[in-house]
Structure 1
Amino acid sequence: MNPNLKSDISRRLVAEVDSLPPRLQQAAKYIVDNGNEFGMDTIRDSAEKMGVSSNSLVRLAIHLGFTSFDELREPFRASLVARYDASSGEGWIDRLSEKGTFGHAHARTVRNEVDVVMQSLRFLSAEKADAAVAMLIEARNAYVTATRATYSLAYYFHYVGRMALPNLHLIPRHMGSPVDEMITVGKEDVLLAITFPPYSAETIAALRLAKRNGTRVILISDSELIAPNIKVDLFLKVSLQSLHHFSCFAGAMVVLDSLLFHLVSQGGKEAQNRISSYESLREDSGAYWKARVPKIHRK
């Protein structure tokens, strides 16, 4: 079997999704976003999760040139990566589960966090990381945007990244919309957007404005298909699987930290000097708390 067949199918689905009938669009988006689950499930289970009929999956398989659902699923099944390897030095997690009811629950969430981080780093190939860093460094101006909960990720990336990349800007800076600060964004600029489900309408509006202006776009999300007619130049997929109601940000955080490492490293001596200047300014302005040695009054 062609080892790249799974990736080829996913790329074709992304390219053709807007031209497919609605039911097949639903199926295509699910396959692109949930390749592991699709590889494990039966046709009935997959159809139920997608909200389509089993016949729709057969139609999609035939559309893609396969003779059956099983033939379409096989590349995804063959490429499944084990989520947990007992020999990988994670015995300490197993021992957590021996600490009673709370310990068992704690072990579950710890293993989930580890899994999220590992999956997200697997998604971030060296080629994709290199491309993202090059786009940011070569841009006239680089903008990072997010809203609501994901704004914290954008804020952190900007807070650290601007020391290595002076032309990195956070939008929105205040309580407005990102598009309010994109009036001058053009072809020589780059927009790095972060959005997770439920996807932000403001971020989607910023992505659409960027493409209308010819701005190159990097998207960090769980899906490349976040809304109709959203096209990006570079998609960085992250895992968001969580045991509670909200998305887990651990995977996105390690991806951003990896990009920051490369930005600082490639910034060389100039970046190091800027970081030193920032640190000196903060220390001189009393930004950091320091313990004071009490004065000893001698008689």
Structure 2
Amino acid sequence: MSSLLHTIEEKMGQFSKGQKKIARYIFENYDKAAFMTASKLGREVGVSESTVVRFAMEVGFEGYPQFQRSLKELIKRNLSAVQRMRVTSEQIGDRDVLSRVLELDIATVRKTEQAVSSEDFNRAVETLLEARRIYIVGMRGASSLSSFTAYYFNMIFENVHLVSEDKGSDVFEQIVRIGEGDVILGISFPRYSKKTVRALTCAAKSGAKVISITDSEKSPIAAMADTVLYAKSEMISFVDSLVAPLSLINALIVALGQRKQTEVFATLGKLETMWNEDQVYENIGEV
């Protein structure tokens, strides 16, 4: 049980009659309650809006908005894919899907800009530049992010290893040689992959430095990291929006590329020659 639901359960005996109605509703429908305003939740339960606000304060929050954010964090970490699908209508409503999803993505990028510390970002850059070997791990929904990162890191660094479930070997076998002087970059968002957590734990015990890209301090890969870069990831239906994490990774790649311009220019020059010889890209001619 989450700490929020545990707190509500502990305080059940202290609640007023109306507050007990709210508590019971939240236990049974917290996935719906997370997207309700205080007035809407009050109408649904049959109590006043002020009773809902007092309930939020009674369980330890400054007001209802803070309580609602906690509920959203709860569902983001615990709902199954089927349950996530059910909350879609609460997020999108009757609005145009394209416009609403784009609005949510824009908002997460703005929140990420506020959440990322320049000091932490610069520390991550320096740590990667000093690494003997770089390992990148991100499973499940984050696998696209780890593959993207590894693709461009290979243009910047000589010794990059993508840890993947698709390689036919166990994750631990892929990082068996990791140790001091190495860096592992872990990427994970709700619902957090156990394999990613275990890989980072193993790497840390072996003496490697850990950089985590995740959504909050409550993430299991945040506490074990030497440096954490926070990127917001909002749940949209059964899909996790990874727009903000990708933007953060883009910034990381650009910063590293600027610091290693000579090597990158040389690598790209060789690649262009090979791409042209192998006709990798379609020639669209002059515009």
Deviates more, 1:172-181 or 1:254-263: 172-181
- Work out the CA distance in 2 between the residues paired with 1:113 and 1:285: 38
Q: 2:172·2:199 contact (CA, 8 Å) conserved in 1?
A: yes
- Could you say if the C-alpha distance between residues 142 and 25 of structure 1 is closer, same or farther in structure 2, counting changes exceeding 3 Å? farther
Uncovered stretches (5+) of structure 2, i.e. residues with no partner = 8-34, 39-51, 68-92
- Could you say if the C-alpha distance between residues 239 and 265 of structure 1 is closer, same or farther in structure 2, counting changes exceeding 3 Å? same
What is the match of residue 246 of structure 1?
239
Q: 1:240·1:247 contact (CA, 8 Å) conserved in 2?
A: yes
Deviation at 1:231, TM superposition (A): 1.4
Deviates more, 1:175-184 or 1:212-221: 175-184
TM-score (norm 1): 0.63
Query: What amino acid is the match of 1:117?
Result: V
What is the match of residue 44 of structure 1?
55
Among candidates 192, 211, 234, match of residue 199 of structure 1 = 192
- Could you say if the C-alpha distance between residues 236 and 246 of structure 1 is closer, same or farther in structure 2, counting changes exceeding 3 Å? same
Uncovered stretches (5+) of structure 1, i.e. residues with no partner = 1-21, 28-36, 48-53, 58-68, 78-100, 294-299
1:232 aligns with 2:243: no
Cα deviations across residues 141-188 of structure 1 (Å, max 9, x unaligned)?
111111122111111111112111222221126143332211110011
Cα deviations across residues 22-71 of structure 1 (Å, max 9, x unaligned)?
848978xxxxxxxxx9xx99563478xxxxxx2xx3xxxxxxxxxxx64x
Deviation at 1:283, TM superposition (A): 2.1
Among candidates 87, 94, 98, match of residue 106 of structure 1 = 98
TM-score (norm 2): 0.66
Q: 2:214·2:221 contact (CA, 8 Å) conserved in 1?
A: no
Report the count of equivalent residues: 217
**What is the identity percentage for the equivalent residue pairs of Structure 1 and Structure 2?**
22
What is the match of residue 43 of structure 2?
none
What is the match of residue 285 of structure 1?
278
- Work out the CA distance in 2 between the residues paired with 1:167 and 1:110: 37
Deviation at 1:128, TM superposition (A): 1.8
- Work out the CA distance in 1 between the residues paired with 2:6 and 2:226: 23
What is the match of residue 204 of structure 2?
211
Q: 1:218·1:232 contact (CA, 8 Å) conserved in 2?
A: yes
- Work out the CA distance in 2 between the residues paired with 1:43 and 1:288: 62
Among candidates 127, 136, 145, match of residue 144 of structure 1 = 136
What is the match of residue 274 of structure 1?
267
- Work out the CA distance in 2 between the residues paired with 1:259 and 1:278: 22
Query: What amino acid is the match of 2:272?
Result: E
- Work out the CA distance in 2 between the residues paired with 1:43 and 1:192: 43
1:153 aligns with 2:145: yes
Q: 2:188·2:196 contact (CA, 8 Å) conserved in 1?
A: yes
- Work out the CA distance in 2 between the residues paired with 1:46 and 1:284: 67
- Work out the CA distance in 2 between the residues paired with 1:238 and 1:42: 30
